[in-house]
Amino acid sequence: MDKTWRVLVVDDDFRVAGIHADIVRAAPGFSVVGSARTLADARQQMVEEKPDLLLVDVYLPDGDGIELVRTNGVDAFVLSAADEAATVRRAMHAGALAYLIKPFPQQALTERLDRYARFRHVLSGARGLRQEKIDQALGIMFGGGSPKPSSRSATEQLLLDALGEGELSASEAAEIAGVSRATAQRRLAAMANQGVVVVRLRYGQSGRPEHLYSKLGAQ
């Protein structure tokens, strides 16, 4: 079953908080567990609801939202009208995974939520991480814009459809999709770097390990 990420919205303007909450609810894989207008309310709801992600304004009636990000140990985006470079740097230093200047278009938050879901998926599990996985996660969260489904090439879509059958090697996916092995390997590797598909290594008795690919959330 796919993970649903729990989000707490922290903003003293209830209308703005409602807009942000609606964007979260519309994002696949996310739910809103509450809305807080003060730091005190946010801390109480964090204990009760145990959110995975906070959407936090900087200026709150009883204190500084960036300090909440710095001290709470929960992943956070800062959403604020504050556009001073020092404030943005302070938020990044506090551990914010994104900083959006209000007002922003809905798509800006939707894209960052999508990145966050893929970022967390790559960093999931209890086992140790290889450096390439860490680099992949950081590239997803802090790299360029997320690819849109409509921008998928026909070949990539054929390969994604093939992965609907389960975990496959590049050769197996190529045969199902009707493309060459080299093309499948190249496109699957690119989609793995984007966090669209998941790759793991299968070690045999001898020789190089085999790369196996699966769709995000299918494991």
Rounded mean pLDDT for each run of 10 residues along the chain, 219 residues in total: 84 95 93 97 97 97 96 96 96 97 92 90 80 84 58 78 86 87 88 82 72 74
What pLDDT score was predicted for residue 130?
A: 82
**Domain span at 94:** 5-122
Alpha carbon 11 to its chain centroid, in Å, reads 22
The CATH number covering residue 180 comes to: 1.10.10.10
Number of domains making up the chain: 2
Do 18 and 109 fall into the same domain? Answer: yes
Q: End-to-end distance of the chain based on CA atoms, in angstroms?
A: 9
Q: Is 171 a member of any domain?
A: yes
Residue 86 and residue 156 in one domain:
no
Tell me, yes or no, whether 21 lies in a domain.
Answer: yes
Question: What are 185's two structure tokens?
Answer: 């390997």
The last residue of a domain, from among 122, 156, 186: 122
How far is 38 from 9, CA to CA, in rounded Å?
A: 11
The reply to whether 140 falls in a domain is: no
Same domain flag for 97 and 169: no
pLDDT tens digits along 13-68 = 999 999 999 999 999 889 999 999 999 999 999 999 999 999 999 999 999 999 99
10 and 114 housed in the same domain: yes
Helix, strand, coil percentages (3-state) for the chain, rounded to 5, are 50, 20, 30
180 shares a domain with 115: no
How many helices (H) and strands (E) are present in the chain, helices listed first?
A: 9, 10
In a domain, 130, yes or no: no
> Could you tell me if residue 55 is left (phi over 0), alpha (psi between -120 and 50 degrees) or otherwise beta?
beta
Going by their DSSP bridges, the two strands 53-56 and 75-80 should be labelled as parallel
Do 157 and 90 sit in the same domain of this protein? no
CATH number at 11 reads 3.40.50.2300
Q: Say if residue 98 is in the same domain as residue 164.
A: no
Q: Note whether residue 132 is domain-resident.
A: no
Least Cα distance to 155 among 103, 126, 190, 120 occurs for 190
Task: Kindly state whether residue 14 falls inside one of the protein's structural domains.
Answer: yes
Side chain identity, residue 122: V
Specify whether 75 is located in the same domain as 178. no
Interaxial angle between packed helices 170-177 and 181-193, expressed in degrees from 0 to 180 and rounded to the nearest 10: 110
Query: Can you give the pTM of this predicted structure?
Result: 0.67
Q: Is residue 142 situated within a structural domain?
A: no
135 in a structural domain: no
